[in-house]
Copies of this chain bind each other. A is one copy, B any other.
Amino acid sequence: MQNFFFHNPTRIIFGRSAVTQIGRETAVFGKRALLVYGKESIKHNGVYKTVINSLGSAGISIIEHGGVRPNPVLQHVRQGVIKAKENKVDVVVAAGGGSVIDSAKAICAGALVDHDVWLFFKGKKGIRKALPLTCVVTLAAAGSEMNGGMVLTNEKTCQKFGTGNKLLHPSASILDPTTTFTVPADYTAYGAVDAMSHVMEFYFTGRELFSPLQDRYSEGLIATIMESSEKALAEPENYEARANLMWGAALALNGIAAAGLGRVEFPMHTIEHSLSALYDVPHGAGLAVILPAWMEYTAMTKPDKFAQFAERVLGVTGGGTHSMAGQGVSRLRRWLEKINCPTRLANLGIPTAAITEIAENALALARLWRLRDYSREKFEAILKLCA
Instruction: Pick from A4-12, A73-81, A156-164 the stretch touching chain B.
Output: A4-12
Q: Is A217 an interface residue (CB 8 A)?
A: yes
Flag if B12 contacts A213 (CB, 8 Å). Answer: no
Q: Number of contact residues on A: which range applies?
A: 35 or more
Q: Which residues of B contact A9 (CB under 8 A)?
A: 7, 9
Q: Which residues of B contact A211 (CB under 8 A)?
A: 244
Flag if B220 contacts A224 (CB, 8 Å). Answer: no
Flag if B11 contacts A15 (CB, 8 Å). Answer: no
Q: Which residues of B contact A244 (CB under 8 A)?
A: 1, 211-213
Q: Which residues of B contact A385 (CB under 8 A)?
A: none
What is the CA–CA distance of A331 and B260 in the complex, to the nearest angstrom? 31
Q: Which residue of B lies closest to A254 (CB)?
A: B256
Q: Which residues of B contact A220 (CB under 8 A)?
A: 213, 216-217, 219-220
Q: Which residues of B contact A337 (CB under 8 A)?
A: none
- Shortest Cβ distance from residue A210 to the other chain B in the assembled complex, whole angstroms: 9
Q: Is A227 an interface residue (CB 8 A)?
A: yes
Q: Which residues of B contact A247 (CB under 8 A)?
A: 1, 213, 259-260
Q: Is A221 an interface residue (CB 8 A)?
A: yes
Flag if B248 contacts A213 (CB, 8 Å). Answer: yes
Central interface residue in A14, A223, A248, by most chain B CB within 10 Å: A14
A3-B16, A3-B18, A244-B1 given as contacts; is B216 within 8 A of A224 (CB)? yes
Q: Is A93 an interface residue (CB 8 A)?
A: no
Q: Is A251 an interface residue (CB 8 A)?
A: yes
Q: Is A361 an interface residue (CB 8 A)?
A: no
Q: Mark A301-335, 1 if CB is under 8 A from B, else 0.
A: 00000000000000000000000000000000000
Flag if A243 contacts B260 (CB, 8 Å). Answer: yes
A5-B13, A11-B6, A260-B14 given as contacts; is B213 within 8 A of A224 (CB)? yes
Contacts A/B (CB < 8 Å), 11 sampled: A1-B239, A3-B14, A3-B15, A3-B16, A3-B18, A216-B216, A216-B219, A216-B221, A216-B224, A217-B220, A247-B260
* The 4 residue pairs across chains A and B that have the minimum distance between CB atoms: A3-B15, A216-B220, A1-B243, A6-B12
